[in-house]
Amino acid sequence: MRMVELKNSILLEAILTAIYNVASRRTSSKFADESIGSTIKTLEGKYDFLKLVEINKNDSTEGGFAVSVSSDIDTVNPAVVGKAIEALIRVVYNDMNLEAGLYFVSEIKEIAGNEITRMIADCDVDLGQLQLEQHHAYQRRERKRSIAEATRTGKLTRGSPENLIGYTWGKVSHWKHDPGSKYCTLYDNSGNVLDRLNLDRIIQNYVERLSGYIDVNPREIEKEASIYETEYKLLKLLLERDMDAETAMHMLKIDRDELTKIISKLSQMEMLQYTDFNTVELTNIGIGYLSKKEPK
């Protein structure tokens, strides 16, 4: 039996309700209000149809809130709505602390139900990939903590992680990419999954970098020996959590051009390093700097 296709407005209302429920239960209603509200405002610049969304307090409902989505959103391409949903989940998840957010996507799927989850997949959103990214993020966070602790105790070379992603190209036995998929899965010699890479983001970053999108004068970078407030905040955020560009812009209150320049500057200063064409991580130098700057 063929299931009824849901309208964009119903889909977005259901997923926002699920996100709000999970966020408020794992943190607080105040956090959910602030985080989801500010996230929607941030993403309105890219997805203007999010202006058609309203979340209001309503004591007569079970969760104490009501989500309203205008039917005008039903004319939007479902794939674009899917991208907005994925961005919402990523940003809100990264707003949460590690313990509260580790199983965030799993709980969203449970509350939203199978039909909504299927519709999200039809919008080209891979919730399984988001779940996997959460667990990779947890592992990387633990490695960062280990490096920071080793730096503080002067034992950086003893038992510290090999690197921040936990593997090198030498450990990659093979990789698999299914036709039509935007993800590439890396495997080790034992057939275990090492990582899953988003090809869309990698290719976009590759083109932007090599086409001169990032245009920074090296001489100017060399003159900037100190790390200013926004740069320092970015380093601290990267030590505390994994995030995408939209989350970073949201939390630092900067635009994409400013973020690009900051990342380029910190890379030149060897505080950050690219682990693939679209992912940056703190280097040992960056972690060591933060550990010495703000010791426990």
Tally of CB atoms within 10 A around 129? 18
User: Which two structure tokens, joined as six digits, stand for 42?
Assistant: 């941030």
Distance of CA 96 to the CA centre of its chain: 11
Tally of CB atoms within 10 A around 201? 16
Averaged pLDDT, 44-55 = 87
Q: Is the pLDDT of residue 131 over 60?
A: yes
Q: Is the pLDDT of residue 221 over 60?
A: no
What are the angstrom distances between the C-alpha of 194 and each of 90, 168, 176?
21, 10, 12
Encode pLDDT of 227-261 as tens digits.
Answer: 467 888 888 888 877 777 888 888 888 888 888 88
Closest-CA residue to 133 (of 80, 180, 201, 82): 201
The least confident of 3-12, 72-81, 86-95 is 3-12
Looking at per-residue pLDDT, the higher value among 102 and 70 belongs to 70
pLDDT for residue 175: 86
User: Which two structure tokens, joined as six digits, stand for 176?
Assistant: 């698999």
Q: Is the pLDDT of residue 78 over 60?
A: yes
pLDDT for residue 224: 40
Strands (E), 118-206: 174-176, 183-187, 193-198
Task: Say if strands 53-57 and 65-69 run parallel, antiparallel, or are unpaired.
Answer: antiparallel
Averaged pLDDT, 146-164 = 59
Domains with residue ranges and CATH for the chain: 8-125 (no CATH), 162-293 (1.10.10.10)
Encode pLDDT of 17-36 as tens digits.
Answer: 999 888 888 888 888 888 88
pLDDT for residue 252: 87
